[in-house]
């Protein structure tokens, strides 16, 4: 049996982008990998959305610096919390209805959860880009919940973004 090296991704590792943050050590490995992966696919500036347990937004400025972002509860996390705390609401299959206006409790829940989450991502993306002072940015979406929602065509869907970034970290930190 042979020992295999293990790479633990953190802000302390070699990378090909800057961390323009007051506490870079607080940034999670998933977000670091997403930035590294995205920079292999498109030039900066970038806005990355990872729709998972939490939905994270990462902004990379034109000179390849990670400058910040936002974190909101993930779609399924929010959905489970709503089901657990609202006595009269029941579990429904998360299938995106064609229209935002539901006419049953089931279709209203489906619309509110799925289309509401799409609107959250679209709207917060616009605010982050505006507040960062970007005139334009490439928008990339990833994460397990990205399969449940339908974002506008301005988002590029990259399901393997985190793995691509992990591979990049491996390349840069191969000893």
Q: What residues are labeled active site?
A: 30
Q: Which residue has the tokens 């800057």?
A: 18
Q: Which residue has the tokens 């696919």?
A: 41
Residues 66/60, Cβ–Cβ less than 8 Å: yes
Residues 36/15, Cβ–Cβ less than 8 Å: yes
């Amino acid at each position: 049996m042979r020992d295999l090296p293990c790479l633990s991704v953190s802000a302390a590792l070699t990378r090909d982008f800057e961390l323009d943050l007051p506490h870079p050590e607080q940034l999670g490995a998933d977000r670091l990998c997403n930035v590294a992966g995205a920079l292999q696919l498109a030039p900066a500036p970038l806005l990355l959305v990872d729709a998972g347990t939490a939905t994270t937004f990462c902004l990379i400025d034109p000179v390849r610096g990670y400058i910040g972002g936002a974190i909101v509860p993930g779609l399924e996390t929010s959905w489970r919390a709503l089901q657990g705390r609202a006595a009269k609401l029941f579990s429904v299959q998360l299938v995106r209805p064609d229209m935002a206006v539901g006419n049953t409790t089931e279709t209203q829940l489906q619309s509110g959860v799925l289309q509401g989450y799409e609107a959250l991502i679209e709207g917060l993306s616009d605010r982050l880009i505006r507040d960062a002072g970007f005139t334009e940015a490439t928008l990339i979406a990833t994460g397990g919940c990205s399969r449940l929602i339908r974002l506008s065509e301005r988002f590029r869907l990259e399901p393997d973004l985190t793995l691509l970034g992990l591979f990049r970290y491996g390349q840069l930190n191969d000893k």
